[in-house]
Structure 1
């Protein structure tokens, strides 16, 4: 800054010298305060990756969105915005879809009781699991297991 002030008092080629000093000043500002947009995008993607990993590893527990956001150390509403931006669904919807996908696979490929499947995908209450499954799949877990009404999740 002192160099710019000193240059402004000169008379010969003052404009050219001021412009060069200004460019140098701007260069130094950019060096000290880099554009964090790229870093911000990388951070956002890392948050999503960490959240997806946490969900994949813990969907069978009764996890909440608050627990996910605490795990990756961000605010719950920020997590929601990131999921909408990168996954096109809320974290809650993603977790629900994952649980129903895992339950569907267990219904098709195992002889576990419905209540055991419910617990294995994070539901303590088998009735709540059955109601949720029916709402999303348009059939009960038993009907699904028997091959009736297999409809894709929306």
Structure 2
């Protein structure tokens, strides 16, 4: 009896937990696909859980219409001067972020930081956070088109080409659908992998990418047209992953010495040619492991590894997990996670302050109650 009462009390407490509240700050010319990719997983999390795990508001400095990069106009839920009890703040950027970030944006974001909000961004929104001085020392993702400009403008921000980055209380995603992957990873950390998997199934999203997945940054964008020989060498590498070409042979193809070849890679790509070639082969192996039914032996062979043990060793050293765990979808960090280490905070009051506008999450959840998937996932 006592045990039953304890279970009921625990269930009641779970139902009483107030959702985490997100404020999406819309910059002028933000990309609509990135905003939708961030919000839709939250809506579906509520639907599958059968209760409001998340609520959200769209915001602008003055509460007026904000135009997206595709020309559509969004009416925000509130202006930034309206006090909202936010847990997360997410900046939604897009085209020409350096022109869309104002002093008012910077001041408001700095105020949110002082209130200990978790701060994030999608697409080029990290430009605003960096301008506010809130990304110094935090690993940061931004759309590859802005990588060079942002590195020059904010040298204290460690940039990465990863699809998204979660670093302590900062989370940043590059453009397109990358925010969907980031949100699914955050939801999975907070409420379990089953819920994240259920959301991806509802969106017919075959594979949830993680923090190790990289943006495909065109090398021409990194190098421009100043290094045609280096571009030619990389093209040769990419075309010969199954049977790697020796460095001396690569050098002779483009009429340079091996020493010149090594200097080119070190100067412009910050690694040796053999290391870069290995990275290409391992990245291809990761795609095959996740997207095909090829055996690990076949994957190793298709990527130019003469033995499976050598392939497994290289793979583990580069990605942090062995190929078998990658194939099974096991994240090496999950085994170490404990509830006390989860970064997402849960607020414990039942209702939002009366001054807050109504979140569209409430309407979406009400409409979802007639769906067959409503409350179909039991949370951990």
TM over 0.5: yes
5+ residue gaps, structure 1, are 1-41
User: What residue in structure 2 maps to residue 112 of structure 1?
Assistant: 294
Partner of 1:149: helix, strand, or coil? Answer: coil
Q: In 2, distance between residues paired with 1:48 and 1:57?
A: 14
Residue 139 of structure 1 pairs with residue 294 of structure 2:
no
Larger RCO (alpha carbons 8 Å, 6+ apart): 2
Q: Check conservation: 1:144, 1:150, Cα contact below 8 A.
A: no
User: What residue in structure 2 maps to residue 58 of structure 1?
Assistant: 240
Q: In 2, distance between residues paired with 1:150 and 1:110?
A: 21
Q: In 1, distance between residues paired with 2:300 and 2:257?
A: 29
Q: Cα 1:44–1:92, aligned 2, differ >3 Å: closer, same or farther?
A: farther
- Count how many residue pairs are aligned between Structure 1 and Structure 2: 110
User: What residue in structure 2 maps to residue 149 of structure 1?
Assistant: 331
User: What residue in structure 2 maps to residue 84 of structure 1?
Assistant: 266
User: What residue in structure 2 maps to residue 99 of structure 1?
Assistant: 281
Deviation at 1:62, TM superposition (A): 3.1
Give runs of ≥4 in structure 1 deviating > 3 Å.
none
Structure with greater helix share of residues: 1
User: What residue in structure 1 maps to residue 96 of structure 2?
Assistant: none
Q: In 1, distance between residues paired with 2:270 and 2:311?
A: 24
Q: Deviations over 1:15-45 (max 9, x none)?
A: xxxxxxxxxxxxxxxxxxxxxxxxxxx9971
Please tell me the root mean square deviation across aligned C-alpha atoms, in Å. Answer: 2.0
5+ residue gaps, structure 2, are 1-223, 334-380
Q: Cα 1:59–1:44, aligned 2, differ >3 Å: closer, same or farther?
A: farther
Name the larger-Rg structure: 1
Deviation at 1:128, TM superposition (A): 0.8
Deviation at 1:63, TM superposition (A): 2.1
Q: Check conservation: 1:138, 1:149, Cα contact below 8 A.
A: no
